[in-house]
């Protein structure tokens, strides 16, 4: 999982993967990190436009990145019937190790709350 320092370069990798696939980015909006027990998620809302095969190349390229990247909430709709372009809205998530002290603190709170 990427450290906080590596997240910025991973965001660039995601963008470059889309551009190399022939897609046009219309939206690229990183959201606030979401803390989980042992990791945090960094959701990125995206909207890209291109041909169906270009969208496939993009998703395949994301799977080939050296870091874990997952694709969620995919919605595809035609952009233009003449050109055959498709607009894909999705949330791309990457993951980061949680701070050990934060994880321990959240676990302690859960145990106390369960009494």
Q: What is the pLDDT of residues 35-77, one digit of tens each?
A: 988 888 899 999 999 999 999 999 999 999 988 899 999 999 9
Which secondary-structure segment (H or E) carries 5?
Answer: helix 4-20
Of 68, 60, 56, give the one whose Cα is nearest residue 7: 68
Where do the domains of the chain lie, and which CATH numbers do they carry? 4-106 (3.30.70.60)
pLDDT at 1: 52
pLDDT at 105: 44
pLDDT above 90 as % of the chain: 50
pLDDT at 95: 83
d(CA 5, CA 13): 14
| pTM of the complete model | 0.76
pLDDT at 72: 96
pLDDT at 99: 63
């Amino acid at each position: 999982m990427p450290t906080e320092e590596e997240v910025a370069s991973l965001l660039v990798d995601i963008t470059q993967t889309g551009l190399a696939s022939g897609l046009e980015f219309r939206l690229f909006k990183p959201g606030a990190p979401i803390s989980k027990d042992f990791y945090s998620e960094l959701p990125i809302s995206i909207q890209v436009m291109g041909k169906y095969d270009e969208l496939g190349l993009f998703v395949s390229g994301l799977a080939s990145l050296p870091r874990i990247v997952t694709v969620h909430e995919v919605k595809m709709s035609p952009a233009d019937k003449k050109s055959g372009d498709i607009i894909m809205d999705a949330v791309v998530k990457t993951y980061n190790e949680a701070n050990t002290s934060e994880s321990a603190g959240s676990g302690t709170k859960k145990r106390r709350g369960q009494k």
